[in-house]
Amino acid sequence: MAVLVHMTKDGGRRHFILGDRPARIGRADDADIHLEEPLVSRTHARIEKNGDVWVLQDLNSRNSTHVNGERIHEHRLIHGDEILFARARCLFLAVDDNETSGSLRDDGLIVEEP
């Protein structure tokens, strides 16, 4: 399992759990991961799992996608990667499937429930 954490402009965080099917990221209302940011394209990017690997692909967005400061077209994600969809800042967290019995904290980490 993996989680995409969107750090909002007001200091908040939105967590998106990534599943087995590809997730479309963008400003469109029907995007799997909806980012209400003016510079994000309607259909900006896609994240999907290929075997044990998570792959991020920019879908020819107008304002590009960056991972750890580098502009990408396609990128193999690893835990802790910082992603910019235009100016929308996100963090990719790979989570061990054995740790999913907990809940997400505000900092994006999994915590065990009593």
Summarize pLDDT for 34-49 with one digit per residue, the tens. Answer: 999 999 999 999 999 9
**Separate counts of helices (H) and strands (E) for the chain:** 0, 13
pLDDT band at residue 98, thresholds of 50, 70 and 90?
low
Q: Is the pLDDT of residue 107 over 60?
A: no
Contact 93, 3 (CB under 8 A): yes
In angstroms, rounded to a whole number, what is the distance separating the alpha carbons of residues 20 and 41?
Answer: 23
Q: Is the pLDDT of residue 81 over 70?
A: yes
User: pLDDT band for position 24 (50/70/90)?
Assistant: very high
Q: What is the pLDDT of residue 1?
A: 86
Determine if the pTM surpasses 0.85.
Answer: no
